[in-house]
Amino acid sequence: MAISAESVRSFLESASLLNSVSKDKHSRFLSLWERATKTTSVLTGMPGGGNSDHEAVLATLADAEDDSKRWEAFVTERKKLVTQFIKDAEIDDYYRTLLIHRYVIGIGWHFIYLMFRDTKELSERKMYYDHNKALEACAEWVNNTGKYKEVIE
């Protein structure tokens, strides 16, 4: 089966989507940590601290921290894979720069447009068109070489 430009887009977007999940996991850990350190009476078992179990709170914190670190490592590996894909793809340097800024660095379209508008004389509409052409060029490269096909499918 041939790889489409939309499949390439989904693969490239996976790094930023996973990054969002990773940030949520880390926020959960930080929230638990804040609650645990704020409520020392719960942890120390002092009167008025509720019926919380000190070991259960620490175990929950440890699990949340491990989960956060696992996701962070997974995201790091995915970003490396996406970056390597963009570097390996035999596409125009302008296309490569567009894709790196959008999918690896995570810059919004308006700011990417502002970066290029003076040097490339293009409208935002033309930049979106160029982005789609970059995705099509990547899909064509994958279909011609077979590289990264199993990762993108």
pLDDT in tens, 119-144: 777 888 888 999 999 999 999 999 99
The reply to whether 101 falls in a domain is yes
The reply to whether 26 falls in a domain is yes
Q: How far apart are CA 13 and CA 82, in angstroms?
A: 9
The reply to whether 153 falls in a domain is no
The reply to whether 70 falls in a domain is yes
78-115 confidence digits (pLDDT tens):
889 999 999 999 999 999 999 999 998 888 888 988 88
The reply to whether 12 falls in a domain is yes
The reply to whether 108 falls in a domain is yes
Domain count, the chain: 1
pTM over 0.95: no
Looking at the predicted structure, is the pLDDT value of residue 29 above 80? no
The reply to whether 152 falls in a domain is no
Domain that holds residue 20: 5-147
30-63 confidence digits (pLDDT tens):
777 777 666 554 555 544 445 556 677 777 778 8
Residue 64: pLDDT band by 50, 70, 90 thresholds? confident
